[in-house]
Amino acid sequence: YPLVMLRLWRRGHGRVEDRWMDEHVVVWGGRTVTFNGGFADHNLGDLSYFTDKHNKYATREAIEVLNQRLGLFDRDEALNARSASPQASIKRWVKERLYNRLPFTVSAPLYFLWRYVFQLGFLDGRSGLVYHFLQGYWYRFLVGARLMELERAVAHLGDKSEICDELSRLTGHRLVARSEALATSNVNEDRLAPRI
């Protein structure tokens, strides 16, 4: 805290990254202004809503990490120090270069300790413990477990198209391998669109 998040930009001077998870807004051709004050995302959904949402997020994040490891399809690498806050760039670097390389049985507890102890999450009381445990430990552990499940399911496959087909079947998301995407680039279809 404080977490700097870009939320408003001039039309034609920014866009949201094309990523499965943790996408950021990237801007160009102008300056950014940081407003004083806070921003509260007070979600009124119950615990069932929270766990269902994070279960879906865990699948998306596992796809993102698997793509980072296997190079299945293009990754939007637009985030850099000039296009977003230094905080966002550093956070992405730490997550992709350090955190995602640790076993999830180590990274999830470390992340929870970071948030709950070192960032003083314990000051949030009992409701803070529930939130930090679920979002800072359970969710991170779930992402790791889901990633392990998907990696095992495709370990016997060598072809990127076959891997994407199997991941599509397992996750319900339509994934297109890089070579297929180039072959069908004349079709105006979002490669990240979920199956309907």
169-180 average pLDDT score: 86
- What tokens does 183 get? 């072959």
pLDDT at residue 51 greater than cutoff 60: yes
> What global pTM score does this model have?
0.82
Kindly report, residue by residue over 100-148, the tens digit of the pLDDT: 999 999 999 999 999 999 999 999 999 999 999 999 999 999 999 999 9
DSSP label at residue 2: P
pLDDT at residue 193 greater than cutoff 70: no
- What tokens does 174 get? 């339509």
Q: Band of the pLDDT at 182, cuts 50, 70, 90?
A: very low
pLDDT at residue 71 greater than cutoff 60: yes
Closest CA to 17 of 96, 92, 70: 92
The values of phi and psi at residue 91, to 5°, are -60, -45
Q: Band of the pLDDT at 76, cuts 50, 70, 90?
A: confident
